[in-house]
Structure 1
């Protein structure tokens, strides 16, 4: 990383469609030869005989930003060459086929960035307070916990 370049951590929660190029541009750096990207999309799934048509996301936004900052610190401790980190996550309605999360991490070489992206998505799901509710074609809904999350609700509908 160039001495004059400050590291950037960008976290955005949005109800708008995610622009992957915006995420890539946020981490672009002349000192980095790699930009590792992950895009998580809403998939059509069959759950208990019901077809998923979309997801509804909610977040505790202030805490989410704080947890993202901690995650970036952790990434840099594990992979000191990581230069910039950017994560955009949807809130509200996300239909099948659309991106729910887009992240990019820049680093001088691909290895560190690729490992950091894998760690970032796993820890984002485990520590950042973003919840999803599956919506089925019969309009029934069900809150889903992330398997990575140790404190997730067993069933948010019963809270």
Structure 2
């Protein structure tokens, strides 16, 4: 069921994630692509960096196993970027393939929400005005 579960310091591909969850028994596939935006809190963002705890990949797999157990998932995949990213870069891509579309949407939403809540990955956001902030710590 888990076809792809990785943290990477190289660019992500939505096509790769979609290909990973391709399944002839899936009538619906939902994908979420998170990108680095150019503004946050009404401040211009110049870039950011993601740092992951050494056990983040293991925790990602646990989150994915729970989603697979809670939904009628044929296949799921998740990749999250670490390291320095520029505005427009893909930061995270997740997908769920299920027999029906409603469950694919629900599984995908749960996967991204739980990943953000439970996988120890921290974002260091740098603003164009010279300020910065850490997100996800605490």
* Structure with bigger RCO (C-alpha 8 Å, 6+ apart): 2
1:127 equivalent in structure 2:
118
1:38-93 deviation per Cα after TM superposition (whole angstroms, max 9, x unaligned): 0011112154x7421111101014x11221222122212321x1011111111111
Preserved CA contact (<8 Å) 2:45 2:126: yes
Instruction: Give the greater-gyration-radius structure (CA).
Output: 1
2:44 equivalent in structure 1:
51
Find 2:25's aligned residue among 16, 26, 31. 31
Preserved CA contact (<8 Å) 1:9 1:72: no
1:15 equivalent in structure 2:
9
Find 1:105's aligned residue among 85, 90, 96. 96
Higher strand content, 1 or 2: 2
Preserved CA contact (<8 Å) 1:9 1:69: no
1:92-111 deviation per Cα after TM superposition (whole angstroms, max 9, x unaligned): 11111221101111111111
What stretches of structure 1 move > 3 A for 4+ residues in a row?
A: none
What residue ranges of structure 2 are gaps of 5+ in the alignment?
A: none
Preserved CA contact (<8 Å) 1:41 1:97: yes
TM-score by length of 2: 0.90
Count of paired positions: 138
What residue ranges of structure 1 are gaps of 5+ in the alignment?
A: 1-6, 146-151, 154-159
